[in-house]
Amino acid sequence: MLFGLFRFDWTILIVLPALFISIWAQIKVSSTYHKYSSVRTKRNVTGYAAARAILDANGLHYVKIEHVRGHLTDHYDPRANVIRLSDSVYGSDSAAAVGVAAHEAGHAVQYAQDYAPIKLRMAIIPVTRFGSMLAIPLFFIGLILASDLFMLFGIVLYSAVALFQLVTLPVEFNASARALRAIDGAQILTNDELAGAKRVLSAAAMTYVAALLTSLLTLLRLLVLAGGRSNRR
């Protein structure tokens, strides 16, 4: 019975475009960052210095900046009020590093100014974590057992994941916009260097677009599978 259930599962084709776009986006980020990581800033501004300048300009002297190991593991921790910059960003004076560091500083400014989308994203994170782990298993258990309740629960949980990805888009785009304005306003980079930083952040933004597309198409697949099960009854 199980073989018959999954033998002709054409619905996997629904998510394939998102898979290809995700792979392309990751390659684009890697290649763009590599290209502009070799473009050194004429003013020798490092990722750390750029982030510190943006934080201080916005009165966020209390936000610390730490060095963490890894490549592009950069993030802002709102609970600890700390920006963590990776090996390839913290001490690098490349246009790419400055762009990434400024982006994380943009997130810190968002929290300080109570930017609504980021508050919404924080509010739904617990449900999203729960949903990302259990939604798919619950749905397919429901599909196998012909349980509408399990399938519905899985769809609802995965909808929270899709909502999180949707809310993430304006958060990330806004952080990049803040970063580029701050870099330009403080004249941290020359026009050519700023263009490079912008390309790095634009490439990174595509990974969030790909993540949203993946979640939406996966949700569509679940709905199609659930509808097909109902039609076969």
Q: How far is CA 68 from CA 28, 63, 86, 88, 107, in A?
A: 24, 16, 5, 10, 18
Place of tokens 């949707």: 166
CA dist 7 and 90 (Å) reads 50
Whether the CA torsion 120, 124, 129, 132 is positive or negative: it is: negative
Query: Rounded to an integer, what distance in angstroms lies between the CA atom of residue 122 and that of residue 79?
Result: 11
SS (H, E, C) 102-137: HHHHHHHHHHHCCCHHHHHHHHHHHHHHHHHHHHHH
172 part of the active site:
no
Do residues 36 and 200 lie in contact, with contact meaning Cβ atoms separated by under 8 Å?
yes
The residue type found at 32 is T
CA pair distance 227, 58, nearest whole angstrom: 51
Active site residues: 104
